[in-house]
Structure 1
Amino acid sequence: MKKNLKLHQWLMKWHFISGVIILPFVLILSVTGFIYLFKNTYESPQISDYRNLDVKNERLTFQEQWEIAGRNSSVKPHSVILSGKTDEATEFISGKFANVSHLFVNPYNGAITGEFIENESPMGEVRNMHGSLFLGVWGGRIIELVGCWLFVMLLTGIYIWWPVKKWSVFGFFIPRIKRGRRTFFRDIHAISGFWISILLVMILAGGLPWTEVFGNNFKKLQKITNTGYPATWDGQGLQSWPTKNAMSLDEMILVAKKYPLLGTVSLRFPKGKDGIFSVSNTYYKNLNAQKVIHFDQYSGRVLALHKWSDVGFLMRGRMWLMAFHQGQLGAWNFLLIACTASLLFIMSLAAIISYLLRKPKGKLQVPNVPSNFHPGKYIFLSIVILGLILPLFGLSVLLIALLSRLPLRKKQAKNS
């Protein structure tokens, strides 16, 4: 591929400007993302203290435990985890998303062994920093904008990294050590960016569905194309047919156990007299093994059974990428994300060091672009397409374009 040198300079300018703005945030994201990978490792000992217990006496019924959990939880539990182990406390779940709470009930004496609230844990704080900088909705928008520009920086970085004349192992695949510190750190930045570029794109694709603007637009696309969850996946539109007596929780659990499921299995409680019981499992190692089954709360009759293959392809891809983003698909995934987060930190830090080593004192030194250069229709079209896919990026480009016109207008007004 023959490079356009003027385009190279133009992309270098915008790669530099966007880097100055977002690299501090990228450093935060890489550090907090790396730390959050160890969430289960960090939280497991505390949860184990709540969960593990000595087996004594006869067990209370699940119905009795459910009632105890309801009396001792600030938010009424909506689910119970079906573990099948006799030496563990029964785990009841309330809340959703970041506000999930886990309440543990000793099945032998009814005592509350502990409550774990995810949003109040240290890892919950790390997640909030990673997703919103502790700034709520506006912080989330900042992180989304950073993610959009990081994606653009990857594209422009690959073009800038591509050799002008000929390939060389040193400088393109191995850092040059004998060319001085500035060149060394420049090579560290460019080469590490090249090696992790594809992984970073996948990680960004797994993170953007959590964002407000892109995430909501993606949900709308799934709805329009009918590529999300089936309409009754979460039980919407299904209802029980009331008879004299509803099944007890113990009776429902016996019915649920006839459907062996892999991973973490939960039983969701019915809401009201027309509500339904729902059994589902989470198994990241093999998403295809996930199912959700809805039952009539009076007869135990199956109202709907959905397999993962019933889910639309956009939702399946989205959930896989989101699990990949968090390193949940297995040890290989965990190691890939950990290494990528580490290299992203090194890459960003190397860019800052390289810039500081070459920057004249007191000057910003933005790369120059020939005054007669115009990007062309294909570059313009690419920016428009990216702006439509990543709306916050598109809005920021429009804002930059408007601001860049202000000095010119002021100059023209002064000359007239």
Structure 2
Amino acid sequence: MFKKDNKLNQWLWKWHFIAGVISLPFVILLAITGGIYLFKDTYEAPKQAHIKVVTVEGEAMSYQEQWQLAKPSLHKAPNTMEVPTEANQATAFTSGMFSHKNSVYVNPYKGEVTGRISPKDSDMNTVRKLHGELLLGKFGTKIVELIASWLFVLIITGIYVFWPGKKEGIKGFFRVRFKQGKRILFRDLHTVFGFWISVLLLMTLAGGMPWTDVFGSSFKWVQGVTNTGFPKTWDARGLKSNVDGNAISLDEMVKLAKAMDLKGEVSIGLPKDENGVYSIFNTTFDLGAQKRFHFDQYSGKQLVNHNWEDVGILMRGRMWFMAFHQGQFGTWNWVLMITVAVLLAFIAIAALISYLKRKPDKKWGTPKVPSQFKAGYGVMGFIVLLGIVFPLFGASVLVIALVEFFRKRTKKEQALI
């Protein structure tokens, strides 16, 4: 235990309060939508079964023929094909990436397209957009980024303010007072549960920040400058096949991909044109097992291959936290994220109830700070650092500081009148 500075504690409590007022209503929404989105695969599987699952009957047509069959069903030529792992699995051909991704599924026995799936048309995509941009497009994305930035402040200041003093000791980390009124009860529930999941909340936030506009763009820029992102040829950029004779069939590449026995979902990158290359890669959240191979589409010669170790440190960290954020490391991770979502919503609601119980009529009830108190250089330096790392947070602090400055100035002028 350490002795806290009471004046600093009051000052941090004030900023914790401000951060809470700014973020709590949104935090509840983000926690609920994030928790719902974790059920995406379970929700969509039965709805998509009639497209993805086929009846095994007769002999399957070649992958080369299926490729040709899929092309007219997509607006753009397919760039990847997922290698089926079961006999009753329709073959998926995909064009585009992220929000522009479209997949068509081919029944290899009947030689027909079973259907088309685009993530942007699903119910869960609406949930994702509500979670990531409040259904407000780019403007909403920036609001969510601002809220997430303030959440870092909320958590860090909350840990300091909650930290028990010497008199309370270890018991202070677990104390919930049930008999001192609802305000105290909900305050204790908020602080105790909030403290014990604070590290998990910081990790979850770290996993969400790469999707943001301002911070995300800055992070990518740093990756580029420090050369700590993906290798340039990770996605076959800059690689070309030597046009010579007939191209290797897709069936030969599938046979090679199966022989590699790669972990997870295996896909084949399809040549875009006569100079394009074939790629074989796997998608697995055992990140260390991810591999990529690129081949000349005529000779079959391997042009380059990459392991996870070839990926820069910042990109590896980014991908790990993003996967953690989505609960994709297995059952333990999924259960952990569900728990975090439920507890985050609970502690936010508990804080709101506690605040409403103590809030004076017609006032915000902002905690008072001794007028003579001035934050030290270390604290101010930390705020400046946060403002640089999270630019929208920095901009909002400047706005708050200006409002506070003019409010005090107006009070002084009125006092002189």
**1:61 deviation in Å?**
1.5
**Aligned pair 1:319/2:338, yes or no?**
no
1:171 and 1:187 in contact (8 A); partners too? no
SS at match of 2:345: helix
* Counterpart mapping for 1:49-198 below 5 A: 49-168=50-169, 172-198=173-199
The CA deviation string for residues 180-222 of structure 1, in whole angstroms up to 9 with x for no partner, is 1111000011011101000011011111011111111111111
Counterpart of 1:248 in structure 2 is 249
Distance 1:176 1:409, change over 3 A: closer
Shift in Å at residue 84 of structure 1?
A: 3.5
Residue of structure 2 in register with 1:304 after alignment: 304
Q: Distance in 1 between matches of 2:168 and 2:175?
A: 12
Q: Specify the alignment match of 1:17 in structure 2.
A: 18
Structure 1 equivalent of residue 43 of structure 2: 42
2:267 is matched with 266
Name the counterpart of 2:4: 3
Deviations 1:154-198 (A, max 9, x none): 000001101244225665313111111111000011011101000
Q: SS of the counterpart of 1:10? A: helix
Return 5+ residue gaps in structure 2 as ranges: none
1:289 lines up with 2:283 in the alignment: no
2-structure distance, mates of 1:75, 1:151: 42
User: What is the match of residue 353 of structure 2?
Assistant: 353
| Residues 255, 300 of structure 1: 8 Å contact kept | no
Name 1:389's counterpart in structure 2. Answer: 389
CA contact (8 A) 2:164 2:170 kept: no
Q: 2:134 & 2:154 partners in 1: Cα distance?
A: 21
Q: Which moved more, 1:165-174 or 1:148-157?
A: 165-174
Q: How far apart are 1:106 and its partner, in Å? A: 0.6
Conservation of the 8 A alpha-carbon contact between 2:268 and 2:280: yes
Instruction: Give the aligned residue type for 2:118.
Output: I
2:61/2:111 contact within 8 Å kept = yes
Answer whether contact 2:257 2:266 (CA < 8 A) is retained.
no
Cα distance between partner residues in 1 of 2:28 and 2:411 = 38
Residue identity matched to 1:289: A
Q: For structure 1, which segment, 108-117 or 320-329, has the greater mean C-alpha deviation from structure 2 after superposition?
A: 108-117
How far did 1:409 drift?
4.0
**Are the aligned partners of 1:292 and 1:307 in contact in 2 as well (CA < 8 Å)?**
yes
Query: Who is 1:224 aligned against?
Result: 225
Give the superposition deviation at 1:119.
1.2
Task: Specify the code of the residue in structure 2 equivalent to 1:355.
Answer: Y
What is the distance in 2 between the residues matched to 1:182 and 1:327?
Answer: 34
Extract unaligned runs of 5+ from structure 1. none
Letter in 1 for 2:306: H
CA distance in 1, matches of 2:399, 2:361: 29
Normalising to structure 2: TM-score of the pair?
0.96
SS in 2 for 1:257: helix
Q: Where does structure 1 differ by over 6 angstroms across 4 or more consecutive aligned residues?
A: none
Check whether the contact 1:70–1:77 (CA below 8 A) recurs between aligned residues.
yes
Q: Return the alpha-carbon distance in structure 1 between the equivalents of residues 182 and 100 of structure 2.
A: 47
CA distance in 1, matches of 2:163, 2:203: 21
Superposition CA RMSD, Å: 1.6
The TM-score, its normalising length taken from structure 1, stands at 0.96
Give the paired residue count. 415
Partner of 2:379: 379
Aligned partner letter, 1:162:
W
C-alpha distance in structure 2 between counterparts of 1:90 and 1:374, whole Å: 65
Query: 333-342 or 244-253, which moves further after superposition?
Result: 244-253
CA distance in 2, matches of 1:252, 1:164: 65
CA distance in 2, matches of 1:174, 1:39: 37
